[in-house]
Structure 1
Amino acid sequence: MAPSSSSNCRFQLPDECWETVFKHLTHHPHDHESLSLVSRHFFSLTNRIRTHLTISDRLLPHLPALLRRFPNLTSIKLPERRYFAGDINALLSQIASFDLPSLHSLDISYQHTFPSHGLRQFSQKFPTLKSLICSHTQPDLVLIAECFPNLKELNVSYTSLFSVTDLHVKALASGLKKLRKVDLSCFLDSSIFTFCQNWVFLEALVFSGNSFLSEIGIANAIRQRPQLRSLGVRRGNVTLELIDALVSLKDLTCLDLSYSSISDEALCALAEGGLPFTELSLQNCLGYGYCGISCLLRKCNNLQYLDLQGTEFLNDECVIELSLLLGNLNVVKLSGNENLTDLSLFTIMRNCPLITEIKMDSTGVGKLKLEEDCLVVNFHVKFLYLAQNKWLDDGSVTMLASVCPNLEMIDLTYCRRVSKGAIDILRRCCKIHQMNLAHLGCDLPLFRFQFRVNYEVPTLLVLNFSRCRISDEELSLISKSCYRLKELNLDYCDNITENGVKQVVKNCKQLRMVSLYGCEKVCSDVVAWMIFARPSLRKIGAPPQFHFADDSQQDLLLRRGCFVAL
């Protein structure tokens, strides 16, 4: 007997519960598509949980439909000028004609000219905009202050100093009273001091690439805002005067001094301040050594993010000792330090039990072989970036697979001695969803990636095989084992043909992107076949022989929902 309507009602979940479930089930907005096909109700719910939209040339014909479909968008990013031939002012005016009550963030970076007219219309519809990002452009600062008085975040980094006047400074200082986060690069000492005096709610301040500011000017300015929680001073000279101002910021948790010059004395003085750092970046900093960094880390008991990329003095012994101070670390970045080997990598996994992400590109990982029984399994590691490690080989990768069972992403780009070890990642890491294997095994002259496995890898969603020597046979096996692939990069895979591509398209029913740039043996006819055979495809990087016969062919393929990039 069918259940009555009243009994059905008892088992219906509120929409808020379904939205929570959907957010936990998916890794990317693209994953919502399969859910939206279940029912009209699910279609409506997935539309409501989409919050971000990046606009491109190919989306313009569909923009009105998209803005109606996703009523809860919170942020929109406009196309960069180099990728967009249209009128940015008209595009802003078009967006302003739609009802988007949740919209609070707009990104208009990398524009040749500032879209003043469009922004004025936009501000009339969205006067409560909270975030405006206009990096690498020349913004009208007076207009921004007039049109968006409720801004809490403003990014005007990498703009020209010479167009900033006292009028601009006064307008920003008096007009944007609610600012909490600012990224600047086009102001002098006096201007920054004025801003810090007036922006009483300021919590995060970043100076990006500003050679016109002095360290004394920055120090005087930040003393006006003792409640700062985040500070970035990039490409500067960190003097004791600046350190003295820093230690007065008792709530400072995030400090970024990338590409700056700082001494051991300055780091030790910073350590004495006892600031509650959770994030610290000294990427490519000069002037300090092990004494300074160890002194600072001994005082940072709750550090969760550490970036020491490009630190020349670091070696395995340093990392072993420093790791003992980093029990709460989640993310560490050590790329560009050639003296670091497997010992550093596996020591971090052992001594930092909460580590989830390790970035060690261009290091000596693989150079020092360790016994497997000396290693400790770390169930928290999810992301490993090991690109351009010339010593890394199959044995090292197999060992990584055994100690990182919950790995979700690995980057082995330009690991020229790795071949079959990549398969062990697929076999042992049951949560793997992204692998970058570009240029894999290119130092092994007879190597061909032999993807001969008899087990399924349903979690793998993104796979980059560009410039790998794989054949149609391997592609067929990939499509059978990794049948849930969404993105597949096969750029410059010289041995594949349309036969292998067709096998992938037939077996991977959720495929959204395939890139075939430089695949000389793939015929042009396969592109249209792919689009009609697999409706889920949204983008194809076309092989060299493909050309549109005319505009009508391009329009036809776009109407099928797929963009073909030449």
Structure 2
Amino acid sequence: MPPSSSSSSSSNCCFLQPQLPDECWESIFKHLSDPHDHESLSLVSRRFLSLSNRIPTHLTISYHLLPLLPALLRRFTNLTSIRLTRYFTGDINALLSQIASFDLPSLHSLDISHQYTFPSHGLRQFSLKFPTLKSLNCSHTKLGLVLIAECFPNLEEINVTYPITRVFPDRDLHEKALASGLKKLRKVDLSGTYILQDSSLFTLCQNCVSLEALLISDIGASAIANAIRQGPQLRSLAVRGGIVTLELIDTLVTLKCLTCLDLCYARISDETLCVLADRGLPLRELSLRYCSGYQFSGISCLLRNCNNLQYLGLERTRFLNDQRVIELSLLLGNLNAVNLSENAKLTDLSLFAIMRNCPLITKIRMENTGVGKQKLEHDCLVLNSHLKFLYLARNKRLDDGSVTTLASFCPNLEMMDLSDCGRVSKGAIEVLRRCCKIQCMDLARLGYELDQFRVNFEVPTLFVLNLPMLSISDEELSLISKSCYNLKELKLNYCDKITASGVKQVVKNCKQLRMISLLGCENVSSDIVTWMVFARPSLRMLS
């Protein structure tokens, strides 16, 4: 007896959606490469729609999103964080009051940074619904610590960096609110606030017994030392500017949990680095970006005693050259990421020394250096299969030969930045050809001698491609769209040779396209916008 149609339909449905528990499906959804793919899954069935509604946890609100906001807040009830776009043009007080009218039990983070006004009324309404807010970012806006402490006494993270006014007639009230009213703080970023006095920092560290991360600037070393003695549980300390004294170092070595130290724009001597090295801090991350006063002997002494360092930042370090980087790289066997940007004396020798001597390295930044100056024989090079992210922007000596060599010895690259590398042209194509896992390439203002950018082979892994100010034609753009058919983001700003014809080929062939930027493309008429929206429903951003 043949099965009934209903039985067949049920069988097909079971085949499409195996009867896995919801928790398994949620785990599968979360591992998708692009969260926007949840939209397609939500169309499969009501069950998938319900499950996909649980996944989004972050929401960025722009002025253009306001008409859809009620529907979004009703749909995505598992949101944990909400962020406003910079310099939001709507009524922020009304917006926060509106959000407070919805049931969002998991919401614990709010970002209202870079705003012209401080939404006092909206925050009061917001706090009535979300009194247990854990994280608040109000950097680059007016300062309202008194109201914040009153409304959100349970805050664990706060960012009040660089307020838009430096005049504080009620300074004492701000200091009291920060130091005594927010006792549950774990992470505090006060860079550029200009309000803290030495006594306030001391009280902050004394009262916030759970404080783990502190970012400060414009405070004397002695005051910092006195303060952090009150917080022996500190894991991360960032100090911008000033002089790093032996007193401060002696205090740092008492912090047995300190794993991250960032001394930006500070002046530090070899003696202080050696003292820090001798005490054996368990550092995992160290940044001395734009620091002065120390030499090679000091940093090498420190690195010999930091065997487990995973991140190192040495931007704009005057004494660094290739030989010294080679010596340092031998001390960094556990390094995962390094930033050596703004060091003009460093060439390909430094880059390949890091790749050879740091087998776990996944990210290298060497922007605005001398990479490309020193050509290396292939026999001297070693394959690095771990390196995924390589940032080489603004290297004026980098050329096609050097980039092709890199592509050959870094086959698993996922992201490469070659923006403002004026001598690179066809080498970028070799990266696409040889790096089979490449997902993102930034080629802005590439090769002033670039005559053709022909990608005549498949690059199915490429999702993001930035081509601003390139002299590419419609024919080349069409070829890119056929070869890189999984593109989700494409920037073509000021590509003045392309026309509507080339853009239509992109929209037609790239079926997952989410964002396309055509700013300054004078030969692309604005009339094409409506056609693009209807022709490619996946589009979410046009500019």
TM superposition score category, shorter chain reference: over 0.9
Deviation at 1:370, TM superposition (A): 0.7
- Check if 1:216 corresponds to 2:218: no
Distance 1:430 1:41 in 2: 36
Match status 1:118 vs 2:122: yes
Q: Corresponding residue for 1:551? A: none
Write the letter of the residue equivalent to 1:237: I
The within-5 A match list for 1:527-542 is: 527-541=529-543
CA shift at 1:7, angstroms?
A: 12
Match of residue 448, structure 1, among 437, 440, 451: 451
3-state SS of paired residue (1:65): helix
If the length of structure 1 is used for normalisation, what is the TM-score?
Answer: 0.91
The separation in 2 between residues aligned to 1:314 and 1:386, in whole angstroms, is: 18
Alpha-carbon distance between aligned partners in 1 of 2:139 and 2:40, rounded to the nearest angstrom: 36
Deviations 1:338-363 (A, max 9, x none): 11111111111111111110001101
Counterpart secondary structure, 1:368: coil
Contact residue 261 and residue 287 of structure 2 kept, 8 A: yes
**Is 2:511 the counterpart of 1:504?**
no
Measure how far apart 1:137 and its partner are. Answer: 1.9
> More deviation in 162-171 or 252-261?
162-171
How many residues of Structure 1 are paired with residues of Structure 2 in the alignment? Answer: 531
SS of 1:257's equivalent in the other structure is: strand
Between the two proteins, what is the percent identity of the paired residues? 72
Conserved 8 A contact 1:164-1:187:
no
Give the deviation of 1:100 after TM superposition: 0.6
Corresponding residue for residue 192 of structure 1: 201
Which residue does 2:90 correspond to in 1? 86
Aligned to 1:25: 32
- Is residue 394–residue 421 contact of structure 2 (8 Å, CA) maintained in 1? yes
Query: Which residue number corresponds to residue 482 of structure 2?
Result: 480
Q: Pick closer, same or farther for the CA change 1:483–1:173 going to 2, 3 Å.
A: same
1:105 corresponds in structure 2 to 109
Aligned to 1:547: none
- The one-letter amino acid paired with 2:29 is F
Q: Alignment partner for residue 373 of structure 2, among 344, 364, 367?
A: 367
Q: CA deviation at 1:49?
A: 1.1
Cα separation, 1, equivalents of 2:206 and 2:540? 50
- The verdict on how the C-alpha distance between 1:494 and 1:311 changes in structure 2, with shifts beyond 3 A counting, is same
Tell me if structure 1 keeps the 8 A contact 2:180–2:203.
no
Distance 2:412 2:379 in 1: 19
- Write the mapping of 1:161-240 to structure 2, written as runs, cut at 5 A: 162-184=168-190, 185=193, 186-207=195-216, 210-211=217-218, 213-240=219-246
Cα separation, partners in 2 of 1:318 and 1:14, compared to 1, 3 Å: same
- Aligned counterparts of 1:381 and 1:12: Cα–Cα separation in 2: 39
Q: For residue 420 of structure 1, what is the aligned residue in structure 2?
A: 426
User: What one-letter code is carried by the residue in structure 1 that aligns with 2:212?
Assistant: E
Between the aligned partners of 1:513 and 1:412, the Cα distance in structure 2 is 21
Tell me if the contact between 2:179 and 2:201 (Cα under 8 Å) persists in the aligned partners. no
Q: Give the one of 395, 403, 408 matched to 1:402.
A: 408
Question: Match of 2:360?
Answer: 354
1:546 — aligned with what?
none
Q: CA-to-partner distance for each residue in 1:217-271, whole Å, 9 max, x for gaps?
A: 1110001111111001011211112111111111100001011111111111111
3-state SS in 2 of match to 1:255: strand
How well do the aligned residues superpose, as a CA RMSD in angstroms? 1.8
Q: 1:161 to 1:523 in 2, by over 3 A?
A: closer
Distance in 2 between residues matched to 1:281 and 1:31, nearest whole Å: 37
Residue 384 of structure 2 is matched in structure 1 by 378
Does the 8 Å contact 2:429/2:453 carry over to 1?
Answer: no
The DSSP-based 3-state class of the residue aligned with 2:158 is strand
Name the structure 2 match of 1:548.
Answer: none
Would the aligned equivalents of 2:455 and 2:483 in 1 still touch at CA under 8 Å?
no
Name which of 462, 465, 468 aligns with 2:464: 462
Amino acid at match of 2:200: S
User: Alpha-carbon deviation of 1:127?
Assistant: 0.8
* Stretches of structure 1 lacking an aligned partner (at least 5 in a row): 542-566
**Which letter does structure 2 place at the counterpart of 1:532?**
F
**CA distance in structure 1 between the aligned counterparts of 2:501 and 2:64, rounded to whole angstroms:** 28
Q: Within 2, Cα distance between the matches of 1:325 and 1:164?
A: 50
1:12 to 6, 12, 19: 19
Which consecutive residues of structure 2, in runs of 5 or more, have no partner in the other structure?
Answer: none
* Structure 1 position 409, deviation (Å): 0.5
Deviation at 1:450, TM superposition (A): 2.7
Deviations 1:24-70 (A, max 9, x none): 222x4334333333333223322211111111111111111111121
Task: Choose the corresponding residue for 1:131, options 124, 129, 135.
Answer: 135
